[in-house]
Amino acid sequence: MDLVQAIKERKSIRAFKPDQVHRETIKEILELAMRAPSWANTQPWEFAVATGEKLKTIQEAFIKRGGAAMQNSQSEVPRPYEFPEPYITRIHKMQAREMRGRTTEMKPEEMEERMIINFRNYGAGTCIYLLMSKNYFFQEKGVNCWGMYDSGAAVQNIMLLAADRGLGTIAQAMAVVYPDIIHEVLEISSDKLIALCIAIGYPDWDNEINKDFRDREPFDTLVKFYGY
């Protein structure tokens, strides 16, 4: 697939077919994705790939713990709790589209159901967890965001390479809100932080939710040219 087409066609997939992605395919995607640039070629990313019973154990443990997952997130990468303008308006715009014309608030049962679907990784058969060494991320003088630029580039590569292969992905903060569960099930040492989950699988294109397309802000509100 042409790069421009992959960028245009990639979108977050929220309904997957149960089929597992072959280990070799994931390996090939990760090998290429790690061509991403990084600070002085430090390559701070690491990945843990889970499928089958291991992934099911994680999903069930998340569901059992339940709770207002996002609000009570124990995620190892500090999450944003404040959304000043213009970000909150963008979130509201997205939520309004998701409600598809419905004006009533989401009921608690609906919120719970949504959380469970997230915890089940939208039905994806495989999850790629992004890890980073805690001693590189948390430093004496503050949080080292730079390693996340590097890792973010690798994550976008994963998503575009997946699109190229007819696979779908979704980055999920929700799937790392209880990192202790992932540490335990995958036996990941406590000196690594579990930064993000990227669910990967075969999109169920018949599901209405995958017809959703999230547009972007008008170009001129975000970009300014100088000296032209």
Residues binding ligand FMN (CB under 6 A): 11-12, 94, 118, 170-174, 196, 214
Name the residue nearer to ligand FMN (CB basis): 23 or 214.
214
Query: Which residue lies nearer to ligand FMN by CB, 78 or 227?
Result: 78
Which residue, 12 or 144, has its beta carbon nearer to ligand FMN?
A: 12
C-beta of 62: minimal distance to ligand FMN in Å?
Answer: 12
Q: How far is the CB of 172 from ligand FMN (least distance, A)?
A: 4
Inter-CA distances, 145 with 35, 136, 160, 203, Å: 20, 10, 23, 32
- Min. distance of Cβ 24 from ligand FMN in angstroms? 26
Residues 39-57 as b or e (16 or more Cβ within 10 Å = b): eeeeebbebbbbbeebbee
Residue with tokens 């929220």: 14
Residues 84 and 19: their CA atoms lie apart, in Å, by 40
Nearer to ligand FMN, 71 or 189 (CB): 71
Minimum distance, C-beta of residue 173 to ligand FMN, in the bound complex (Å): 4
Residue 30's region, left for phi above 0, alpha for psi from -120 to 50, else beta, is alpha
Residue 14 beta carbon to ligand FMN: minimum distance, rounded to whole angstroms: 6
Strand boundaries in 113-176, DSSP class E: 126-133, 138-139, 142-143, 168-172
**Which residue's beta carbon is nearest to the bound ligand FMN?**
174
Smaller CB separation from ligand FMN, 32 or 173: 173
Which residues make Cβ contacts (< 8 Å) with residue 180, sequence separation at least 6? 74
Complex with ligand FMN: residue 51 or 118, whichever CB lies closer: 118
The least distance separating ligand FMN from the CB of residue 20, rounded to whole angstroms, comes to: 21
> With the CA atoms of 84, 196, 25 and 8 taken in that order, what torsion angle do they form, in degrees rounded to the nearest 10?
0
